[in-house]
Amino acid sequence: MAKEIHFNVNSIIKIEIYGRKRTSHKWLPPRQRSWLFGLIKRNSWQSEGFYYHGSYYECYESGCFEATPSSEEYLIKYGYQIDEDKTVWNRPYISIYLKDNNKAQKAFETIEDAKEYVEDIKEQSEVKFYVVINE
């Protein structure tokens, strides 16, 4: 469930709009684990799924043999978008900068939704502020 943000629209200095950005998650099929630079095959398999930063092949962070994939449901639950070709994206979002040095962020399904939200804020605000679009 999306968290609501509350702020005084007249205290906005700037809003930045960001388009969706591809993540480092990559869908990988099941693969037999190996040892010694892939020369010796083990009698176990790496599960299929979404792996982060190539941990499946390159042994990042937790190592090749301990790397576990994320499911599509898990990634969606944490706000990612997944295309039919299994490309994983961060959602489009806006950053709202306020006069008191605070900042608020809100994610959207599409960049058009984000732009529409900003236009609604502009109509409500009595002050002019900068809008930067980073697609």
Instruction: Report domain extents, the chain.
Output: 9-20+91-134, 23-89
**Which pTM value belongs to this model?**
0.75
- Measured in Å, how far apart are the chain's first and last C-alpha atoms? 25
DSSP state of 33: E
pLDDT tens column, 86-111: 999 999 999 999 998 999 999 999 99
Query: Which CATH code for domain 9-20+91-134?
Result: 3.30.720
Residues 6+ apart with CB under 8 A from 32: 41, 42, 44, 45, 46
Whole-angstrom distance, CA of residue 118 vs CA of residue 68: 39
Banded model confidence at residue 7, pLDDT cuts 50, 70, 90? confident
Element (H, E) at 76: helix 72-77
CB distance 81 to 55 below 8 Å: no
* Pairwise pLDDT comparison (41 vs 7), residue with the higher score: 7
